């Protein structure tokens, strides 16, 4: 089942940094997606939410200081 995309998520911006006059560096700012569900956490969770029904309970595990757990809880609301 396709889950509805979470409304707060938008494509992350790409930021240009000029390292030297002849070298530009482009950084994808996934840390700016959302203050709780950001970056690699959202990319990982997105796949799970696309295959799960929104009515199904979600069970996940993480370490004592895991950022994954608050991100999963917030995204599952």
Three-state helix/strand/coil letters over 16-62: EEEEECCEEEEEECHHHCCCCCCHHHHHHHHHHHHHCCCCCCCCCCC
7 occurs within a structural domain = no
pLDDT digits over 12-49, tens only? 889 999 999 999 999 988 888 777 777 777 777 777 77
Structure tokens that stand for 64 in this block: 């004592």
Number of domains in the chain: 1
Average pLDDT taken over every residue of the chain: 78
Q: Is 30 exposed, middle or buried (0-12, 13-18, 19+ CB in 10 A)?
A: middle
* Stated pTM of the model: 0.55
Is residue 21 in some structural domain? yes
Confidence of residue 7 (pLDDT cuts 50, 70, 90): low
Q: Which domain holds residue 58?
A: 14-76
Flag whether 9 is in a domain. no
């Amino acid at each position: 089942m396709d889950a509805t995309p979470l409304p707060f998520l938008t494509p992350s911006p790409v930021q240009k940094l000029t390292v030297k006059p002849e070298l530009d560096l482009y950084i994808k700012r996934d840390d700016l997606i959302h203050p709780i569900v950001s970056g690699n956490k959202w990319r990982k969770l997105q796949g799970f939410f696309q295959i799960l029904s929104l009515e199904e309970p979600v069970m996940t595990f993480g370490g004592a200081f895991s950022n994954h757990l608050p991100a999963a809880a917030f995204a599952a609301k």
